[in-house]
Structure 1
Amino acid sequence: MYELFALGELRTGDKHGYMLQEVLKRIGTVRAISSGTLYPLLSRLTDEGSIHLRLEEETEGGRPKKIYSLTESGRERFAALMAKPLAHNAETALVFRIKMVYFRYVPKTVRLACLTQYLDYLRGQREYVSRFERQLIAAQPEPEIQRIQLLRTLDHRKHMGAADLDWVRAEIARVEASDPDEAQG
């Protein structure tokens, strides 16, 4: 996930590590990336040849500023990660949001595949919640007040899921109607 983010963000232009940390905060993630995760990732991507490290003038602390840029190999790796099917796990929604940020850099077919995969994920989540709700109603566990609140929580999840499903369906229709090369960079 962080590799996709780093390569995607460098796809938009050269950046230094601190800026990558700041951008990740702004794309709607609740998870911050620590320096202990980001810089080893950037080192690995540099060693693999996916990104290029350039040192610029010294900062106030006397250390040179490290600027990262995407290489052709990095562009290919980014495209492969964008085309990789979404896994259905705890990070699916986050990976989807990261991919959406960089849709402009991939073909329409990749955007549609990702949206369709996310639609399938949302449908699976809706079915899971509905099944759990039916089981809870049938079993009627105690205490009643907790069961009632849990049913309210499930109702909330169903409403949020319905809104997500509607949005993704509309986005699929919008992308399908768009020019095949629209918004590619």
Structure 2
Amino acid sequence: MYELFVLGELMTGEKHGYMLQEILKNAGGPFRQISSGTLYPLLSRMVENGWIHLIMEEVPASKRPRKIYQITETGRIRFLELMEKPLEYGADTTELFHYKMVYFRYVPKSVRLDCLNQYLKYLETNLKHVGDFESELMFYKPEPEQQRTQLLRVLDHRKRIGSADIEWVSAEIERLVSEPE
């Protein structure tokens, strides 16, 4: 996921490592931060793979040179491969979808539609699961009643969020389909 982020950010232009880390911190929100110990080894691997190029920026003798990263042609190909890769359903699906969506302008319409449709399927599957679980609770009425009642409130919350997400993604698909190539 972070590989896609770095390549996507470098599609917009060259950046130094600190700037990439700051952008990623903001993109991930206040509870998902990336450490230097994660980012810089990733950048080194990406340089080794030939996906990005490292330029050492000249600075006064008293300062350390800044490392500037730029995407290579091989990196552009890797970026497209990652954007075309189907969403894997798991704990990070929504975050990965959001990262992909940020970089939609760099991929063909068909890739954007595939990603949106995959995410829609993910949302619909989640909503069905919640509905099925709710039906089980209503049928079997497990004890204690207070806990069951609170669990039903949680499921109602999840259904409302899921329905809103489905509505938004469906509208986004319609908008994109009607957009000229």
Calculate the TM-score normalised by the size of structure 2: 0.94
Partner SS, residue 70 of structure 2:
strand
State the identity %. Answer: 60
Match of 1:5 in 2: 5
Query: What is the rounded CA distance, in whole Å, between the counterparts of 1:36 and 1:126 in structure 2?
Result: 37
Q: Which runs of 5+ in 2 are unaligned?
A: none
Partner SS, residue 141 of structure 1:
coil
Deviation of 1:140 (Å):
2.1
Match of 1:149 in 2: 150
**CA-to-partner distance for each residue in 1:1-24, whole Å, 9 max, x for gaps?**
010011001111111111111111
Match of 1:131 in 2: 132
Match of 1:118 in 2: 119
CA RMSD of aligned residues (A): 1.5
CA contact (8 A) 1:59 1:65 kept: no
**1:79-94 pair list within 5 angstroms:** 79-94=80-95
**CA-to-partner distance for each residue in 1:149-172, whole Å, 9 max, x for gaps?**
111111011000000000001000
Match of 1:18 in 2: 18
Return the letter of the residue paired with 1:3.
E
Q: Which runs of 5+ in 1 are unaligned?
A: 181-185
Deviation of 1:136 (Å):
1.9
Change (3 A) 1:60 1:2: farther
Return the letter of the residue paired with 1:14.
E
Return the letter of the residue paired with 2:146.
I
Calculate the TM-score normalised by the size of structure 1: 0.92
Aligned residues between the structures: 180
Query: What is the rounded CA distance, in whole Å, between the counterparts of 1:170 and 1:56 in structure 2?
Result: 45
Runs of 4+ in 1 over 4 A off after TM superposition: none
